[in-house]
């Protein structure tokens, strides 16, 4: 269960970093949320635009998770976002592995970071949801927000509440059901992309999060972190 304890900031470097620095002091499921982030981080060392008006938060998961279960967590978080947006009458899709898109524009990014030597000691899940932002500057053709879709402001706090509510419900739903939903909302399946300089067909995703591609009649299984899908056609 997440959200029993919520730590709120007006401003913080990065909610993921805050949890990482304080992991031994925080209890399992603690949520850290901030109105703005001064060093918001995305995947692949990208920065994450963190202007006021959107939702930036992270939560802590302690110990019990095995490396192979990271995809389960990712699928759960992705489905949580799909469900919460549906509550606001917004239909969204998942771009493997962890972007939530509306009409090809990103509304949410998920950053899952695990720490530990041989075993995972703890995992930090960071989520950024574009709620009330209208101008994304140089990312205007790549990003969207709830306000862009709905035309009205939404309380950021209400979006966080919905996230926590749906996530805690999904904690009690079998992974097979969550996985089926992940596939149902995945926009990459059946599309083509470039992999190692060649065009390949995306056939599916396995229950451990590998992407199944077909290249020159050969099936390959690609690891989550081996690919960053830029073009889909």
Q: Is 93 in the site for ligand BTN (CB under 6 A)?
A: no
Residue in this structure with the two tokens 């229950």, named with its chain if needed: 207
Q: Is 42 in the site for ligand BTN (CB under 6 A)?
A: yes
User: 200: cis peptide before it, omega within 30°?
Assistant: no
- Contacting residue, 3, 40, 97, 209, with ligand BTN by CB under 6 A: 40
- The rounded distance, in Å, linking the Cα atoms of 219 and 213 is 6
Q: Which region, judged by CB under 6 A, interacts with ligand BTN, from 121-129, 132-140, 157-165, 217-225?
A: 121-129
User: Is 94 within 8 Å of 186 (Cβ atoms)?
Assistant: yes
End-to-end CA distance of the chain: 39
Minimum CB distance to ligand BTN, residue 128 (Å): 3
- Contacting residue, 111, 156, 211, 213, with ligand BTN by CB under 6 A: 111
- When the beta carbons of 15 and 79 are compared against ligand BTN, the nearer one is 15
b/e for 95-121, b at 16 or more Cβ within 10 A? bbbbbbbbeebbbbbbbbbbeeeeebe
User: Is 53 within 8 Å of 28 (Cβ atoms)?
Assistant: no
Minimum CB distance to ligand BTN, residue 20 (Å): 10
- Contacting residue, 31, 41, 97, 154, with ligand BTN by CB under 6 A: 41
Residues that bind ligand BTN (CB under 6 A): 14-16, 37, 40-43, 46, 48, 56-58, 99, 109-111, 126-128
């Amino acid at each position: 269960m997440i959200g029993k304890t919520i730590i709120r900031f007006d401003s913080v470097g990065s909610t993921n970093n805050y949890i990482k620095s304080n992991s031994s002091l925080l209890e399992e499921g603690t949520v850290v949320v901030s109105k703005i982030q001064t060093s918001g981080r995305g995947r692949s060392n990208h920065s994450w635009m963190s202007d006021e008006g959107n939702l930036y938060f992270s939560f802590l998961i302690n110990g019990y998770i095995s490396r192979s279960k990271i995809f389960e967590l990712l699928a759960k978080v992705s489905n949580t976002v799909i469900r919460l947006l549906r509550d606001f009458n917004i239909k969204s899709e998942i771009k493997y592995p962890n972007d939530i898109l509306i009409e090809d524009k990103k509304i949410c990014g998920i950053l899952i970071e695990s720490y530990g030597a041989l075993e995972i000691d703890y995992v930090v899940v960071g989520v950024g949801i574009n709620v009330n932002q209208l101008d994304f500057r140089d990312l205007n053709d790549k990003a969207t927000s709830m306000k862009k879709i709905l035309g009205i402001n939404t309380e950021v706090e209400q979006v966080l509440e919905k996230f926590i509510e749906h996530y805690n419900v999904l904690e009690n739903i079998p992974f097979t059901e969550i996985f089926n939903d992940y596939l149902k909302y995945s926009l990459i399946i059946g599309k083509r992309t470039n992999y190692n300089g060649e065009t390949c067909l995306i056939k599916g995703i396995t229950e451990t999060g590998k992407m199944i591609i077909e290249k020159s009649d050969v099936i390959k299984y690609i690891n989550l972190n081996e690919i960053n899908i830029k073009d889909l056609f």
